Amino acid sequence: MLKLFLPNEYLKSIFHLQPEKLKEQGIKGIITDLDNTLVEWDRPNATARLVDWLEEMKRHNMKITIVSNNNQDRVRAFSEPLDIPFIHRARKPLGSGFRKAAREMGLSKEETVIVGDQLLTDVFGGNRAGFYTILVVPVAQSDGFFTRFNRMIERKIMANLKRKGLIQWEEEM
């Protein structure tokens, strides 16, 4: 059970995802969380650096879909100016949002990665649904109300993973 919380890969940020490396792995699409993965949870719009990264991914024909537990207004206001498909109120860690996103991109699980900043929603949900998961360090040090609760549980899970020698990276979240 504990291994379901273990990501396949750990990166400092979304910007460390390289389209060439993804293509070498047979990856054609990215399902990404929004809040504290792409931008701070309270930032309404994409940063210039994120816009550049998204354009780079699109130049390499990488499909991207945002899957968020947040409400439609928040996710739409962020996604539509970037012309990125999205699924709001995804109810992560349930896998239905991830499967729907892959289906809408026309990709299999093997052609898709899930990127997020939370073990309890993104990694656990993605692993349970059979996707390759990538955990990133949260963009912001602060979190919304429900995420603060999740972070307390995550710290305990991370400590347990570390104690069992399952964490392969140096920096803790």
> Can you give the residue range of the structural domain that contains 110?
2-163
pTM: 0.89
Q: Please give the tally of structural domains in the chain.
A: 1
Question: CB neighbours of 83 closer than 8 A, spacing ≥ 6?
Answer: none
Write the CATH number for 97. 3.40.50.1000
pLDDT, tens digit, for every residue of 72-112?
A: 999 999 999 999 999 999 999 999 999 999 999 999 999 99
Compute the radius of gyration of the chain from its Cα atoms.
15
Answer whether residue 171 is part of any domain.
Answer: no
Q: In what order do the strands lie in the sheet with 86-87?
A: 9-11, 132-136, 112-116, 29-32, 63-67, 86-87
